Structures are given as structure tokens and as C-alpha cells.
Structure 1
Amino acid sequence: MATEPLTPTEQLRLQLPRAAFAFRGYNITNLGRTPELWQVEAYRPILQRWLELGSDVCHRAHGQRTDLVARIVGKLEADLEHYAEAVAMIMAVELAQLDMLAEVHGVEYGQASLAYGYSLGELTATAANHMVSAAEAMQVPVTLANDCAILAHDTKMGILFSRTEAISEMNVIHLCEDITAEQKGVIGISAVLSPNTYLVLGQHDSLARLKSRMHDVLPETVLLKRDSNLWPPMHTPIVRQRHIPDRASVLMEAMSPEPGLDTPVVFSLATGDTSYGKEPAREVLRRWVDHPQRLWDAVAYTLKEDIKLVIHVGPGPNVIPATFQRLSENVCQQLARMSLGGISMRAVSNLVNRRWLANMLPQRASLLRAPNVEHVCLEDWLLENAPN
């Protein structure tokens, strides 16, 4: 007698013990498919509950009436002038998606093995794990959002990368420190996406000065691509100009930390380690404000821990999925280059020899698993499996 095939919900539930939840951070666009989720009757009360909490946090922080529900219904992106609303909305939507998964589909977040978040997503992960309340987690970035937005008006992002060589993080740090010491604008690493890719944020013409002298200490293959958008300079020394780390620390003193869930284990991108299980949550979160996001460490840890599924949470997640995708493609191409038996010499000659990856593979064989890890965008899954 043939067995009935598993439903998507049953399949997802079975995969959770070897799954990781990855929470997104702030981006230029932040609505994603949330307006579509609002149209689903079973999801709407859950989404409304969380959006109203986010609106209340914004109101208490800034004294202005905020209606995140109206923003979703009207499909209105929050620009930089409404950065606080964008922050609250992202966190509210992420937590709403988890509740939709649990309350409508019976798939529990706490059954997963691992969780982490890029930038703002780390705060959401601590709230999802009940280390701090959702309102407390939202309050810190929402309260400080206006000052971060002001700093963004003179801050530009650069993507520092090489297709072939690893880039020494210490050399980049020293270069940024030397440029900052000229007192013509602060520049610093905001994220380590991989050993050959960094996000840097700089004021005034500091990115131009970085580009003009980077080959004094970095390989000739290193390129700097500038992004034309304005970015709040979180996770860099720039935020110290408005005393944001110290003010965040004072706000965190009002948090009432709890032991949290046993699972999933939360990996911190501020420390590049599972620090929440080793030291107080507030101490880790203090470093979150002005320390670079160590996304590569989270990716490597995911693969080392034999995670087979990554569930991407939030509206339109992009940075974490794109990082895994690039690694997967690089691994496949590097292995093709190293194994000439199944590929023509002409094709091999056209492949880029990624020395940064080739040098790492003997020590970090777990990176070879990247092409085999499954990825699910939670908002897509929720819409595809929405109740009729």
C-alpha cells in the first residue's frame, strides 16, 4: 500500500532539527511581500498584532503617532526620514512570520537547531528566543534611529572585494584607522561577508581615499565598488559621534533578560560566536552597536554544524541568501577547476581561480557542503502554503 506523500508543512517540520533561522536586517526596500501576507485572512490578525506593537514602540520612543498597518496596506516604503518606522516594521514582520508559521501551520521556531540575524535581525533573534521581550528589543534601535539617520546623510557604502584573493581584515582595519586619523571623515568595516568581501562605510571623501591607497597594503586584484544609496552607519565607529553605543547601553540597562529557549542556539554576528550562551545577553548586544557584522563566521558555522536547511525570515531577505548563493557557486566552480576529468580544458580555462577559496578548503572541508544546503524564503513559503 503506497504511503501518502508528505505535505509541505510536514516536510518542513521534519527538517527543523537540522535547520537554521536567518533574520534579515535593514535595506533600502523593506516591504517585501508583506502586503500579500496581509491579504491572507488567516495571517492578518497575527500581522496586525505585531505591527501594532511596532507602532506603539515608535510612538513611545518619539511621541509621534505611527501606523505601521497603514504603511503595509498602502504599500508605502519607509524612507530614511522614517527610519524608525522601517526598523520597527522589519522586526514586527519577522516576528509575525514566526507566529504565522507556528499558529497557522503548527511549525515551531523552538524546534530548530540554530538562529542568527544580520544587523537588525540579531535583535529579532534574541526576541524570538525570549532572551528579551520584543518591545525591549525594538526599543533600542527605534529610539536611536533618528540620530543614525542623520549620520547616514554623509555616509556612503563601499563593497571591497577580490574575485581571486583573500583580503586581510587586519590590513583593512589599519587602512581605515589611518584614513580616519586624518580627521576628514570616519571610515570602518561594517560587515565581513566573506574572506574576500567586506562592506565599508565612510564619511565625506573617505571612500575615495581608501580607493586611492588600498593597493599599498591589499592585493592588486582588490576592487572597491561604491553604492549610491545613503546608509545608517550601524556597526561602525561612525555611530560614536552621537554617542549611540553608550546611549544604547543605557537603554539596555532597562532590559529584563531571561534564560531564553534552549533551542535554537543563537549565533552572534557581533562576536562571530555563540556568545549568548557564554555571557550575558546585554554584554553581547552592546557590541552589536559598533562592531562589524561577521556574516562569514555565521555561514561557516552553519556549514560546520551540518545544517541542511536555512529558513530566511523577514520581508524580502537578501544579504544572507546572496552570500550563501555566491559561496555555493564559488565552491562548484572551484571544484570543477580542481577536477579536470569531467570538464573540458577550455571551460576550465574560463573559470576564475579563486585562490582564497582553494586555500581554505583543506582546513574547512565543511564549506564543500554549501551547494547542498536547502534555502527557504519564509514569506514565499507562507504565501505558497496559505490556507484557502
Structure 2
Amino acid sequence: MAHSSPEKKKISHVGRIARTALGLAAGAGGGYAFQVMDLPLAWMLGAMCASMALSLPGMKVTIPRRLNNFMLAVIGVLLGSTFTPELFGDALRWLPSIGIMISSQIVMGAILVFICYKLFRYDPPTAYFAPCPGALSQVAVLAPEYGADVRKVALCHGTRVFAIALVIPLLVSWLILKPEGAAAPIATGIAQHLSVNDIVLLTACALVGPSFAIGWKLPNPSLFGPIILSALLHMTESTRAMPPMELVNAAQVVIGVGIGGKFAGTTRTELRKIMGVAIFISAFMLAWAFGMAFVMAKATGLSVAASLLIMAPGGLAEMSVVALTMSVEPAVVGIHHVIRICIYLGLVPSLFFFWRWILMGKKELSAKLRLAN
């Protein structure tokens, strides 16, 4: 019996490796199939659908943290490489779009919180965290601390991320193929002929960036750190290189498999009870983002496609991949999402206490009215 525990751990470890390998193989196959069908963001969406197909029957597809963090760093280096010295010359013109983005998402979130509380009868903490428009990893930490139903919150956010990542590329593809002009693909890949200096600098951004971000206590350090270091190198023109497209496609597969894997362990009962609410929230967010994209484009002069990516309540990594792959002002989109996440992290706790204060105020008022009668 003394040797059973190490043996079980070894079997469990081998099982995790096997599931990860199967998930990545299925994701790569799904990505290739979508690529053959010429669908937008093929590698991420194909991997996401393949992973979800494995996860829903009960298979737990997990991505090792180190692999996931490295691939996020690759996306961060690629996003940073789109920054130019001229970019910040127009920084003041972002203020209106930032204002529209933040105010719009606060209003949208307030409406959804009210609907979840009144219509779907969620308890106050769950009603608050389930429709939060973004920052899944931060919400996953905060929700249990404030007493929310973690399972409902996780399923609502998993569905949101999946729906946004699936639908937004199709909408952007439709928008950029309109007469205003199609986007040119990013010129990355082996044909770039990266020099030794380029390889060293880009690799340093990916490896050193996360530690830099952790030192400054930035959120999502695996992504933010490489973005900052890569942007500094490209804005100073120390290099003009980008990561090879083969590596970017691999990063898309890993991210896609991770998104699809969030549905592992979901029972049929949970699907029936929670998914209807989750789908409603996702559909509401998509419709809101699509409508507000036209408002932002009209008010700021940004393209509708870029405005949609800015307004979309998806993750920074996913929206950055869409913007990069389709060449829809990736630096501008990335900066807006970075600002959104930073402001969001500051507002979430304060707005929760405001939400609780409103409910407590109503309860106290109702109690006084009952006493008066």
C-alpha cells in the first residue's frame, strides 16, 4: 500500500499528458480543417470547436500552464510588433473611443445584472459576476470571494468567451470585405528570414516579459509583459521582425483548445439550467457590441471592424489574435483592451459594493414601509 500513492500519481500524470496530447492533436486537426474551408481565424476556431467536442462528453482537456503562458507570450510579442513611433502621435484621438467603450460596457453590464437578478432569479453576487464583460481569470478569483455561485459564473463566462471568439471573426470578416476595402494579411512566417539579432530580441521579449510584468504587478503578465517589451523595441526600431506565422498558428491552437476545454465536466442538467441564461447573456453582449460599433465608428472615425473588436467583450488574447490575423488596427485594438481590463479590475470591487448597497437600501426601505403599515 505504501507504493500505491506514487504509482497513482504517475498514472494520473501520464493520463494528463495523454489528454493534453489528444486535445492538441484534435485542435490542430480542427484548425487545419477550418483552414481548408477558408474560414476566418481558422486555427483558433477549429481548435476551439474540436476541443469542445471532446470536453462536452466528459473528457477533461487541459493545457499545461507553462505551454499556455508561452503561447500567450508569443501573441504578446506579435501584438507589440504592430506598434510604431507614429502610433502614439494620435493618442489623443483615442480618448473619445475609450470613453464610449467604458461607458457603454458599464451600461450594458448594469442591464444584464438587473436581468440576471430579476428575470433569472440569480442571487445578488452571482447576478453581478455572471454577466461581467471580460477578465475571466480575474472574475474566477473574485467570484467565490464575494459569495457567487462559481459554477454558474464559470459556465456563463465560458459560453461568452466561446460565442465571442466564434462569432466576432465572422462579423469582422464580413465587415472588412465590404466595399471600404479588404484587409491585407500580416506578413509573418519563414519568408521573413529572421536574423540572429531578431530571434534573440523576440525571444527575450517572450521570456523576460512575464517577469517584468510580475515585477510591476500587471494583470495577465504572460501577455502584458511581452506586449510592452516588444512594443518598446519596435517603436525604437531596434527590430521590425515578427514571430513566424507557424508559431502564431500554434499559439492559436493552444488558445482555442483551452477555450473549448472550459466545458469539461458540464452535466446535462447544468447545460439545461445554466446554458440558456449563458446563451442569452452572450447574444445580448454580441448585439450590444455590434450596435455600439457603428456608434463608435461614426463618433471617432475608426472603422466599424476596429470598433467592433474594441467593443467586443472578449479576452485580450482572443481579440488581439483576430485583429492581428485580419490586420484590423491591432495596436489600437490591443491598447483599448489593455485599458479596459485595467479600468475593469479597478471598478469591479467598487461597483459590487455599490450594487449590494442598492439592494440593501431597497430592503431597508421595504422593511420600514412594512413597519409603517
Q: TM-score range by the shorter chain?
A: under 0.3
Report which of the two has the higher share of helix.
2
The structure carrying a bigger strand percent of its residues is 1
How high is the TM-score relative to the length of structure 1?
Answer: 0.23
Bigger RCO (CA 8 Å, 6+ sep):
2
